Every structure is written in structure tokens, then in C-alpha cells.
């Protein structure tokens, strides 16, 4: 009995502790480190402390009794954001810009640990002690405020931050003291890798943003360092360089002034917002236009759907054919689901999406965020012939013709099979079709050619098998009435873009509502995964056609 009481008591305490330190996915945390321009060298003015949104928070990294702040606690991010007497910094306007452009339910927190005049070596744990030993006394005083190790303090504060929020990025501004050091990118990588390891972070979800020193056009004394900073992404693929060109500078030509910090901070924020998938619009509500970092990365804490490959009898082909099925997390046979038929390209089969696109991971992550409706996803082999393998000459006439023949197999064999085996809704409003490349052409051909069967149609980088527009949509008025969503997307450097553009031009001319989504990219899964991420969020729910134009056209500049 005593043992049961102990277990019960432990369980209660455990859940209390868990609840007290539960991560809020809507509390985005950013670590910032570097030297004086990250510290903040611009004098603070009274107006700099006004109007700070409480959604922007700072985790105090040192004790500041005069400010009423205690190390390791969160406060509204009224400057100074580094130590007790530092100035206005780029981090100030980074956070202010972020909260102004993110949904109102998202908070932003920063942890700022910086030391004026230091080299990047100070943040390398293996070199901190030796570097500090030869540092000037004025620098030793700053290092002492971090108990002798700025890196250790940054990690300590980051772990505190992780109890309540999620680290989304790392901001760096450093390089003036390493000017001319061609090994600087590798030294930065050591620090970045250490942070990832010590904080258990995934680089695919946590990028590094590094800003240039004062630009040569502003007569920056260390402007030559920018050529070295520019190559950082070659050493760290998840690093992004923030331009300082045109940012106003202080009289020493080493630091930025307040206006310069505001512009530089905004540029850091613009890059991060882009990486999170947001695009600035004139509306008050932030607008997501692309998949954020980590959208296709497995999250072991997220409930997973089930993927299975089964067979069905095809009277059209005269054989048994394979099809891959995804059922959502929490699949319940007593509930009826809508269906998305997801088609592959000319060189693929029923496994191509799984092998190259991780649709199950993308959809699992979207479910966990409440962004999509539960649906069954059917990934068939779109090459309707007895030997439907992607082998030999995939461009052979009979194999190409088999993609056209799949329309009959889809409508008369596969759809009836799915509707018999799985608990699905059988009306057109709950049936969607989309695909990549050759499958994109099939989706447009079959979907728009059978509006009595499909209300949702998507073509990702559609191939030349796409019918010419007036054959594809001979009756624009019927399409207007029956389509819930028509999605056409492609990479701006894709040599097949003309197939998408000519369809878009025809739809535009005939006032058929659709989304024409052009993104930086070529003919690959980077584009197609993004297409699935975006398209799937519209499916099987009310659609506001007034937002369609916001996706047309997504310029390359919007992502840089």
C-alpha cells in the first residue's frame, strides 16, 4: 500500500513539474551572440524604450538590480537586451519586426550574450580560457559578468529558455575582430555545432543568421571581412548572410547607429520570417506562402499516420496492381474520410513520393499543428500497363501512352476499390487529385476532365502531357461552378514552366479562379514537397478565393 502511495505521489509531482515546464510551440526563441554590434553600441534614447510589444521578451543573461531584472528570467524586451548598460542593438528591431509580422498567438524571446571587441574564439569552449588570459582588462570585466565563459552562459540560458519555448534560430554578428581570418567560417561552425549538440537542436530546423560588418559603401573599416562572411553558407549549409549595405553607421565606421541597427535587425527578421514561411502583406494577419524550416523533418513526438502498399484488381489493365495508402494519425474505421489521389512522375511508381518527398512526415507534422483535415492519401502507379515498372526506356511510346490510359484505371478500378475497402466519403467535394511532373499533367487532365468526380485539382510542375488549355477546360463557366480549388505551381527555373504558364494565362483570361504559385526552384522534390505542403492545407474545408491573388506570383526576391 505504501508503495502505491509513493508511486501515486511521484506521478502527481511528475505531472506538476511537466506542466510547469511544458514547451509552448508558439513561443519562438532566438539565441544571439557576437561582439559589440550584437551587444548594441548605439546610445539608448527614451523613445527606444517605448511601445515594446509584451509578446517580445528577453531572457536576462546577467543580474541587473538597477533594472529590476534577475538572470534567467523573462521580461518584456525593453532595452538594453544584452547586459545592464549596453545600448540599442540589432536584436531590438529583430524581435519587434518578428512580433509585428507573426500571428498574435506567437511570442518571440531572445537570449543575447555578446562581448564587445572579442574574437569568435571566445565562444569556443576549448579556447575560452586561453583567449581570456590574454584579453585586455576591459574585456575581462565583461567576460567575468558571464562567469568567465560567455558560451557556457549562453547555453545555460538557452536551456532555461527551452523549458518554456522552442529555439527557432541563432543570430550572429561578429567578425570585426577576425578581419582577414579566412578560417573564420570554420571557427563559427565549431560554435554552431557545439550549440546544436549541447542543446539537442536540428540544423534543419534551427538556421544560423550572420550579418555583415559595416559595408564598404559606408566606408566600413572592417568591410573586407564581408568577403569572408559571404562564404559562410559553403561551410554551414543552414547559414544565411544578412547584408549591411545601406545601413546607417556611427562616426567610427565600425558600428551602426540606431537607424542602422533598426534596418539591420529588420533584415535579420525578414530572412527569418521567410524561413518560417511568412510573406508580408497589407493585411493585419500574417500570410504563409511557403513551407517553413523543418516541415519535412521527422518529429518523434508527433503522432504518425500509417503507410501500407496493397494490391487491387484492374480490369482496365487486366492484372493486379500496387497502390500505396496513407491513413492519418488516429485513423478510425467508423469515421468517413475525404481522399487525395497523389500521382508520381514519369520515372517513378507508387513509391516515388515516399522515396523522394516524405509525404507522410509532411502530413503528420501538419496534423499535429491542426493545419489540415484528416484525409486518406492514395499513391498509385500512374503507368497503366501490365509491366508498370519504371525500368528500361521510360520515354517509350507505350509507357507514355500508359499514363493516359491510367484515367480509365483510376475512375473505373482504383476509386471503386478504395471506396469499398476504406471508409471514405464518395462525393466529388471530398475527392482531390494532384501530382508532380507527368503526374501533374495527369491531375490536370483527369481532374479538370472529370469535374463530376473531383472538386480539388493540383498540378505541381506539370509536364508536356498536360492538354492545351481550351481542351483542358473547354467550358470555363462549368469549371467556375464546380471547382473548389485549382492549384498550379512550378519552380521559376523549371524548363517545363511553359505548361503551367499557358494554363494560367488561359484561366486568367477566362476569369477561372485558381492559384498560380511560382517559387524559386527547378524540377525537383524541393518544389513538389512545398506544393504538397501548401495545397493540402486548402483541402476539404471552406476556401476563401479572395486570397488566391496573394500567391500570384511568388517572386524569388520574396525568399531571399
CA-wise closest residue to 384 among 342, 442, 445: 442
Cell of residue 214, nine digits:
559595416
For residues 525 and 460, the answer to whether their CB atoms sit within 8 Å is no
Which residues are bridge partners to 435 per DSSP?
A: 343, 459
Beta bridge partners of 312: 321
Instruction: Provide φ and ψ at 410, rounded to 5°.
Output: -60, -50
Tens digit of each residue's pLDDT (9 = 90 or more) over 143-192: 999 999 999 999 999 999 999 999 999 999 999 999 999 999 999 999 99
> Residue 284: its pLDDT value, please?
60
Distances from the Cα of 72 to the Cαs of 75, 81, 158, 274, in angstroms?
Answer: 10, 13, 9, 30
CB 413 within 8 A of CB 314: yes
322 grid coordinates: 500496387
Closest CA to 517 of 484, 553, 483, 543: 553
The pLDDT, as a whole number, for residue 341 is 98
Q: Which residues of 438-458 are buried (b: 16+ CB within 10 A; e: fewer)?
A: bbbbbbbbbbbbbbebbbbbb
What's the confidence (pLDDT) of residue 23? 83
pLDDT value of position 547: 85
β-sheet bridge partners, residue 34: 114, 173
Name, in order, each residue with C-beta under 8 angstroms of 205's C-beta and a sequence gap of 6 or more: 168, 293, 294, 297
Residues of the chain with confidence (pLDDT) below 70: 1-21, 280-284, 552-560
Cα within 13 Å of Cα(107), Cβ side: 20
Backbone angles phi, psi at 6, to 5 degrees: -65, -45
C-alpha cell at 250: 556611427
Give the pLDDT confidence score for residue 488 in this predicted structure: 97
User: What are the pLDDT digits (tens) for 214-262?
Assistant: 999 999 999 999 999 999 999 999 999 999 999 999 999 999 999 999 9
Q: What is the DSSP string of 69-137?
A: B-TT-EEE-PSP-SSTT--B-HHHHHHHHHHHHS-TT-EEEEEEEE-TT--GGGG-TTTHHHHHHTS-H
Exposed, middle or buried: residue 210 (CB in 10 Å: 0-12, 13-18, 19+)? buried
Q: What is residue 280's predicted lDDT score, i.e. its pLDDT? A: 61
Q: If you search the block for the grid coordinates 505548361, which residue do you land on?
A: 499
Cell 523533418 found at: 297
Residues annotated as part of the active site: 36, 252, 255
By C-alpha distance, which of 414, 458, 467 is closest to 440? Answer: 458
Supply the angle between the helices 150-161 and 184-198 in degrees, to the nearest 10: 40
pLDDT attached to residue 556: 37
Residue 205: C-alpha distances to residues 170, 217, 241, 509, 559 (Å): 11, 34, 17, 41, 17
Q: Which of 328, 417, 326 is nearest to 377 (CA)?
A: 326
Residue from 306, 323, 444 nearest 379 by CA: 323
pLDDT reported for residue 16: 38
Q: How is residue 543 written as a grid cell?
A: 476556401
pLDDT (0 to 100) of residue 289: 84
Pairing of strands 56-59, 74-76: antiparallel
Amino acid at each position: 500500500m505504501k508503495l502505491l502511495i509513493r508511486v501515486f505521489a511521484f506521478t502527481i509531482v511528475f505531472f506538476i513539474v511537466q506542466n510547469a515546464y511544458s514547451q509552448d510551440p508558439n513561443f519562438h526563441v532566438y539565441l544571439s551572440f557576437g561582439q559589440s554590434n550584437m551587444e548594441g553600441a548605439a546610445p539608448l534614447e527614451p523613445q527606444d524604450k517605448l511601445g515594446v510589444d509584451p509578446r517580445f521578451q528577453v531572457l536576462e543573461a546577467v543580474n541587473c538590480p538597477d533594472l529590476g531584472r534577475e538572470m534567467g528570467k523573462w521580461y518584456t524586451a525593453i532595452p538594453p537586451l544584452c547586459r545592464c548598460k549596453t545600448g540599442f542593438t540589432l536584436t531590438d528591431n529583430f524581435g519587434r519586426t518578428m512580433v509585428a509580422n507573426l500571428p498574435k498567438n506567437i511570442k518571440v524571446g531572445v537570449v543575447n550574450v555578446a562581448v564587445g571587441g572579442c574574437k569568435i574564439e571566445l565562444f569556443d569552449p576549448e579556447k575560452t580560457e586561453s583567449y581570456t588570459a590574454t584579453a585586455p582588462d576591459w574585456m575581462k570585466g565583461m567576460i567575468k559578468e558571464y562567469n568567465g565563459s560567455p558560451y557556457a552562459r549562453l547555453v545555460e540560458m538557452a536551456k532555461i529558455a527551452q523549458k518554456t519555448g522552442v529555439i527557432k534560430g541563432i543570430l550572429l554578428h561578429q567578425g570585426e575582430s577576425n578581419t582577414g581570418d579566412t578560417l573564420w567560417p570554420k571557427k563559427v561552425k565549431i560554435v554552431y555545432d557545439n550549440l546544436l549538440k549541447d542543446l539537442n537542436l536540428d540544423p534543419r530546423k534551427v538556421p544560423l543568421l550572420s550579418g555583415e560588418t559595416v559595408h564598404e559603401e559606408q566606408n566600413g573599416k572592417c568591410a573586407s571581412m564581408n568577403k569572408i562572411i559571404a562564404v559562410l553558407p559553403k561551410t554551414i549549409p543552414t547559414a544565411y548572410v544578412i547584408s549591411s549595405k545601406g545601413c546607417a553607421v556611427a562616426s567610427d565606421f565600425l558600428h551602426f547607429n540606431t537607424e542602422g541597427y533598426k534596418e539591420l535587425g529588420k533584415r535579420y527578421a525578414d530572412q527569418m520570417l521567410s524561413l518560417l514561411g511568412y510573406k508580408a502583406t497589407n493585411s493585419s494577419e500574417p500570410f504563409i506562402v511557403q513551407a517553413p524550416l523543418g516541415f519535412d523533418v521527422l518529429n518523434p513526438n508527433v503522432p504518425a499516420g500509417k503507410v501500407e502498399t496493397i494490391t487491387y484488381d484492374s480490369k482496365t489493365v487486366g492484372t493486379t496492381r500496387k497502390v500505396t495508402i496513407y491513413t492519418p494519425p488516429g485513423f478510425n474505421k467508423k469515421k468517413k474520410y475525404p481522399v487525395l489521389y497523389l500521382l508520381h512522375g514519369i520515372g517513378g511508381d507508387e513509391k516515388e513520393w515516399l522515396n523522394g518527398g516524405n509525404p507522410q512526415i509532411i502530413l503528420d507534422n501538419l496534423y499535429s499543428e491542426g493545419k489540415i483535415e484528416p484525409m486518406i492519401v492514395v499513391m498509385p502507379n500512374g503507368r497503366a500497363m501490365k509491366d508498370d515498372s519504371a525500368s528500361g526506356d521510360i520515354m517509350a511510346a507505350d509507357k507514355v501512352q500508359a499514363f493516359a490510359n491510367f484515367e480509365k484505371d483510376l475512375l473505373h478500378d482504383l476509386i471503386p476499390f478504395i471506396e469499398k475497402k476504406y471508409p471514405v466519403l464518395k462525393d466529388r467535394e471530398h475527392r482531390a487529385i494532384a501530382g508532380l511532373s507527368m503526374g501533374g499533367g495527369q491531375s490536370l487532365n483527369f481532374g479538370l476532365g472529370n469535374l463530376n468526380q473531383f472538386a480539388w485539382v493540383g498540378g505541381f510542375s506539370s509536364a508536356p502531357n498536360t492538354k492545351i488549355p481550351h481542351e483542358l477546360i473547354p467550358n470555363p463557366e462549368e469549371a467556375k461552378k464546380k471547382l473548389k480549388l485549382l492549384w498550379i505551381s512550378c519552380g521559376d527555373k523549371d524548363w517545363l514552366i511553359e505548361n503551367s504558364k499557358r494554363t494560367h494565362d488561359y484561366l486568367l483570361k477566362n476569369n477561372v479562379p485558381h492559384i498560380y504559385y511560382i517559387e524559386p526552384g527547378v524540377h525537383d522534390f524541393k518544389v513538389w514537397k512545398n506544393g504538397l505542403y501548401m495545397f493540402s492545407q486548402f483541402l476539404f474545408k471552406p476556401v476563401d478565393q479572395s486570397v488566391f491573388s496573394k500567391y500570384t506570383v511568388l517572386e524569388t526576391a520574396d525568399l531571399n
